[in-house]
């Protein structure tokens, strides 16, 4: 669909860029993305993607706003406490940009929600089971998957371009067999702006893939906010990985 007068004003700073322009903006307006988790990461991710004019954004979170969220979850206000996060977020996001369709899922993510034909799935949860499910389904469906996490002063970003490469996945990098309980914001604390940095990195990765720029499959970026330093790594495949490894095909050969 061609851009209208409102679009030309609203997205003028994109339209000035030769590698976005009208064609890129139209691509963004036709895109469908899913944000899983509307906490400290999901807030900045959905704000930036809504402002950028992504066509359809589905948001998924079973929780209600709690006062302890307000230190970092920048979509919500004090008066929202007790209300569903996805309902509050939908109101704010639609007020920001009424051209974007916001669909809400006030529940834990499941395979039905993930089968929604998205161009990218953005993991903003702090739940390992949800991450493994997202990884499995994005891998199976060939959908790019952008994951982030933050704790204390540190953040981590993982990018999987399953549309072009399947030789490595989330399950290869994150040690899911650890017997230690998962650290999270609720038991270890987190600095709010670190979530803003990591959520912004996720939004940039989403825009890169939607605009047709390449993503580096298996890219791992770590941010140390206390020292102001970034570390970039390339993940490597676990040949025994139950999702993408060769274990299954070896068994078939016997
Ligand atoms: Zn794997």
C-alpha distances in angstroms, 149 versus 42, 154, 164, 238? 11, 9, 24, 21
- Angle subtended at Cα 35 by Cα 30 and Cα 37, rounded to the nearest 5 degrees: 165
pLDDT by 10-residue block (mean), the chain, 254 residues: 93 98 97 98 98 98 98 98 98 98 98 95 94 96 96 96 92 67 73 98 97 92 97 91 71 38
The pLDDT tens digits for 46-91 are: 999 999 999 999 999 999 999 999 999 999 999 999 999 999 999 9
CA neighbours within 13 Å on the CB side: how many for 172?
A: 25
Q: Where are the alpha helices (DSSP H) in the chain?
A: 5-10, 12-15, 21-29, 42-51, 85-96, 111-114, 128-141, 170-173, 185-188, 192-210, 247-253
Instruction: Provide the pLDDT for residue 53.
Output: 98
Instruction: Provide the pLDDT for residue 176.
Output: 56
Q: Quote the CA–CA distance of 253 and 244 in Å, as a whole number.
A: 17
* Residue pair 242/136 in contact by the 8 Å Cβ criterion: no
* Residue pair 45/198 in contact by the 8 Å Cβ criterion: no
Q: Running DSSP on this structure, what letter comes out for residue 245?
A: S
pTM for the model = 0.93
Instruction: Provide the pLDDT for residue 247.
Output: 52
Instruction: Provide the pLDDT for residue 1.
Output: 78
* Residue pair 199/36 in contact by the 8 Å Cβ criterion: no
**Ligand 1 center from residue 79 Cα (angstroms):** 43
Tokens 């650290």, residue?
183
Q: Quote the CA–CA distance of 234 and 80 in Å, as a whole number.
A: 40
Q: What are phi and psi of 175, to 5 degrees?
A: -80, 95
Q: Running DSSP on this structure, what letter comes out for residue 53?
A: T
- Catalytic residue (choose from 88, 185, 241, 244): 185
**Ligand 1 center from residue 51 Cα (angstroms):** 34
185 belongs to the catalytic site = yes
Task: Return the SS3 of 47.
Answer: helix
Instruction: Provide the pLDDT for residue 252.
Output: 39
**Ligand 1 center from residue 153 Cα (angstroms):** 28
**Ligand 1 center from residue 97 Cα (angstroms):** 37
């Amino acid at each position: 669909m061609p851009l209208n007068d409102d679009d030309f004003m609203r997205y003028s700073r994109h339209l000035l860029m030769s590698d976005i322009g009208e064609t890129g903006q139209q691509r963004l307006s036709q895109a469908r993305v899913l944000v899983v988790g509307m906490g400290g990461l999901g807030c900045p991710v959905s704000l930036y993607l809504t402002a950028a004019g992504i066509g359809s954004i589905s948001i998924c979170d079973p929780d209600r706003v709690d006062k302890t969220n307000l230190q970092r979850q920048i979509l919500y206000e004090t008066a929202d406490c007790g209300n569903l996060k996805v309902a509050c977020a939908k109101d704010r996001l639609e007020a920001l940009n009424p051209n974007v369709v916001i669909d809400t899922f006030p529940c834990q993510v499941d395979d039905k929600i993930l089968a929604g034909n998205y161009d990218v799935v953005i993991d903003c949860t702090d739940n390992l089971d949800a991450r493994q499910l997202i990884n499995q389904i994005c891998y199976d469906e060939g959908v790019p998957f952008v994951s982030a996490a933050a704790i204390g002063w540190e953040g981590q970003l993982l990018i999987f371009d399953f549309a072009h490469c399947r030789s490595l996945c989330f399950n290869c990098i994150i040690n899911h067999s650890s017997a230690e309980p998962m650290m999270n914001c609720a038991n270890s604390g987190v600095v709010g702006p670190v979530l803003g940095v990591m959520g912004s990195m996720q939004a940039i990765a989403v825009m890169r893939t939607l605009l047709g720029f390449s993503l580096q499959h298996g890219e791992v970026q770590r941010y140390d906010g206390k020292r102001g330093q970034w570390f970039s790594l390339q993940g490597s495949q676990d040949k025994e990985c139950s999702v993408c490894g060769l274990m299954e095909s070896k068994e078939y050969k016997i």
